[in-house]
Structure 1
């Protein structure tokens, strides 16, 4: 029981410091919708000024997590702190957080400048200060000259910039972005990825970015939290999740992989599939009966089959069933058998001249092989298997 004396002598809540501002901490956060667990005891610490992406397929819990940080949803269990202070039960408008959605939700009857100023007006900010802050925000996104236009007079990319300016006009501690580039075409999306990263680096604001697009996450993030069934499967920088995925689920979701499934052999260092003995450089599957070996398309070499004997491991024969020109690379689709095909990518200048129907040989090095225990649950939950004919 807390006494009056205890209350009088208890230390006051420390003020938020510059080091705390923008930090986000989720402590064992759980969110349920009826019997469905959308977010399951998730714990995550986001550093001030970090660009962190929540990446995963539909239904993995990434948007629900973002909405709980924003205050649009409340956790059933656990706590959320923003800038060192718990925000559980705090409404969205009282949090030092702003959100940009895929649907920009601009007011069509207001000009660009009026859209950006709207939140400041609701807070009864002095008019002179509003003008100054709106100008600064539009300058940040290079939209000042469009200040008098209506949203319907803008392109999709310009509307996205206005939505960003509106979210940034008060310089929040945390900016939440819920798939904001999803409505843009590919070229504009790639341009905005670069602009977003440059803007975040310039402002030093914490960005939490939700996406199902691995390319967006890899190109912009300081760290990526790959989510699966309401939990974080792996949290690391882009290099780590691409080169050293923690599970077959992560390996399949980030980039493309060719998977070989079968019995584990060679004391855990290889997987014997129907089409090849796939050997890695680390016997990490010792004591495991069934496993999966993964090799990325860019690590596989391809050549016309001259009929020579194949190496004992990391080689296979097949027939070419597809060739695609991807600009800087050539992509080959090789049929290994009735149930599996292989994707191979080679730099265009070094790509062999092969035709559909040619018999080919594919080989790869053991240090490019990733080994994982068999993961049937991952296959059922959006796992990306190699293509079949």
Structure 2
């Protein structure tokens, strides 16, 4: 397994700011449930005002990590510091953090304004101050005119805004978000992604966002921590995670990849798979064992096959078994053999007119090829080979 190096996990800004308000530092935290390791010696530094996402499949430890920062779970080892102070012995209500969950947990018998005011009332905040803070919080999420309504009178997106206002009304230094958009439909979820990022930029509050949705993480985050089996596999900005994944696991989980498995050849610069010799621009593998090559669908060109044309590396012949219109792109599913298919995506204006059943030739450039050791990480990361029958 590839783990993030110190250089990769180091924040881009001045390390001295890790003691500032909103900084979160996890140092070697481990969480066990019986003999199961949920979080395994994990270290992470989040800068004040940073938007960072914990991304990974179910069971990778991302929500457990968030719950330990919030105080709902306690690590078996390690330390957690928020704004420069250890919070290991502090209950949730004594930590300068607030949490927004996927289930908004609004009180149905209270009005919107009363829901937002609830935390302030528990702290015995003066009534005049409560009124001002609730107004400010509702204004932040553009919900002031709904203050007298009950949660059941609101849409899912409006309820999500109220949950955010309730979390922000205490002006925490860190906001923890545990898949808060998961219950929304696609269009509303995309709208809320933009609103969340704009809100975070305006407030300057540290956001730690847990999601299994790569699109959410890519579109909103300053940095993304890809988690695997309780550890961070890679920690980097969206461009780096997408274009230069640290492992086959990351490559498979972020976006889609076409994987070719086979023998390592050409001094570590190529993979000889049953259906194609896949060559990278430079050698990155060692030895002569098994390896994997990955090519993203958008980097593959497709055309009607000319059987008289000779082929070299980075070409594959197959049969077109599916064509899908995705709006701005056309997607082609190509069968290379009984256990190998390719997904190809081309911009709609430039997409070739091909029909199911056509013999096709797929080609790609060496600089778009990524090479990895073979360790079944692609399947673990979420990659499932396209079907070879339709």
Q: TM-score, normalised by structure 1?
A: 0.94
Once the two structures are TM-superposed, the CA of residue 253 in structure 1 deviates from its matched residue by 0.2
Please show how residues 86-235 of structure 1 align to structure 2 within 5 Å.
86-235=86-235
3-state DSSP of counterpart to 1:344: strand
Secondary structure of 2:44's counterpart equals: strand
Q: Please state how far the C-alpha of 1:235 moved relative to its aligned partner.
A: 0.2
- SS of the aligned residue for 1:69 comes to helix
Task: Output one character per residue of 1:144-190: Cα deviation in whole Å (capped at 9) or x when no partner.
Answer: 00000000000000000000000000110000000000000000000
Is structure 2 residue 273 aligned with structure 1 residue 273?
Answer: yes
Question: Residues 119-162 of structure 1: CA distance to partner in whole angstroms, max 9, x if unpaired?
Answer: 00000101110010000000000000000000000000000000
Aligned to 1:28: 28
TM-fit CA distance, 1:17: 8.9
Q: CA deviation at 1:257?
A: 0.1
Asked whether the equivalents of residues 250 and 381 of structure 2 are also in contact (C-alpha less than 8 Å), the reply is no
In structure 1, the partner of 2:244 is 244
Determine helix, strand or coil for the equivalent of 2:187.
Answer: helix
**Residue 76 of structure 2 is aligned to residue 76 of structure 1:** yes
**Matches of 1:324 and 1:82, distance apart in 2:** 48
Contact 1:329 1:345 in 2 (8 A): yes
Question: What's 2:316 paired with?
Answer: 316
**1:321, 1:380 → 2: CA distance?**
23
| Cα shift readout 1:95-123 (whole Å, capped 9, x = no counterpart) | 00000000000000000000000000000
- Distance, in Å, in 2 between the alignment partners of 1:19 and 1:336 is 55
SS of residue paired to 1:132: helix
Q: Does 1:386 align with 2:381?
A: no
User: 8 Å contact 2:18–2:25 — kept in the other structure?
Assistant: no
The structure having more radius of gyration, on CA atoms, is: 1
Give the secondary-structure state (helix, strand or coil) at the position aligned to 2:311: coil
SS of 1:362 mapped into structure 2: strand
Give the CA deviation at 1:89: 1.8
Per-residue deviation, 1:388 = 2.6
Counterpart position of 1:43:
43
Alpha-carbon offset, residue 380 of structure 1: 5.9
Number of residue-to-residue matches in the alignment: 373
Query: After TM superposition, which residue ranges in structure 1, 4 or more long, deviate above 6 angstroms?
Result: 16-19
Cα distance in 1 for residues equivalent to 2:259 and 2:19: 44
Post-superposition shift, 1:288? 4.7
SS at 1:291's partner residue? Answer: strand
Output one character per residue of 1:49-88: Cα deviation in whole Å (capped at 9) or x when no partner.
0000000000000000000000000000000000000000
State how far apart, in whole Å, the 2-side matches of 1:163 and 1:26 are: 26
Structure 2 counterpart of 1:13? none
Does the 8 Å contact 1:96/1:174 carry over to 2? yes
Paired residue secondary structure (1:316) = strand
Tell me, yes or no, if the aligned pair for 1:271 and 1:279 is still in contact at 8 Å: yes
Answer whether contact 1:100 1:167 (CA < 8 A) is retained: yes
* Alpha carbons 2:115, 2:166 under 8 Å: kept: yes
SS in 1 for 2:162: helix
TM-score (norm 2): 0.94
Output the CA distance in 2 between the equivalents of 1:17 and 1:321.
55
3-state SS, counterpart of residue 262 of structure 1: strand
Contact 2:334 2:341 in 1 (8 A): yes
Equivalent-residue separation in structure 2 for 1:79 and 1:18 (angstroms) = 14
Asked whether the equivalents of residues 310 and 316 of structure 1 are also in contact (C-alpha less than 8 Å), the reply is no
SS in 2 for 1:116: helix
CA contact (8 A) 1:60 1:228 kept: yes
CA–CA separation in structure 1 for the residues paired with 2:308 and 2:298: 23
Distance 2:38 2:172 in 1: 27
CA contact (8 A) 1:38 1:229 kept: yes
Q: Measure, in 2, the Cα distance between the counterparts of 1:245 and 1:17.
A: 28
Q: Which residue of 1 aligns with 2:351?
A: 351
Deviation at 1:379, TM superposition (A): 4.9
Q: Could you say what the CA RMSD is over the residues aligned between the two structures, in angstroms?
A: 1.3
Q: For the residues of structure 1 that align with 2:275 and 2:218, how far apart are their CA atoms?
A: 32
The equivalent residue for 2:9 is none
Deviation at 1:312? 1.2
Between the aligned partners of 1:216 and 1:308, the Cα distance in structure 2 is 46
Task: Output the CA distance in 2 between the equivalents of 1:35 and 1:308.
Answer: 60
Of stretches 303-312 and 169-178 in structure 1, the one that deviates more from structure 2 is: 303-312
Unpaired stretches in structure 2, ≥5 consecutive residues: 1-15
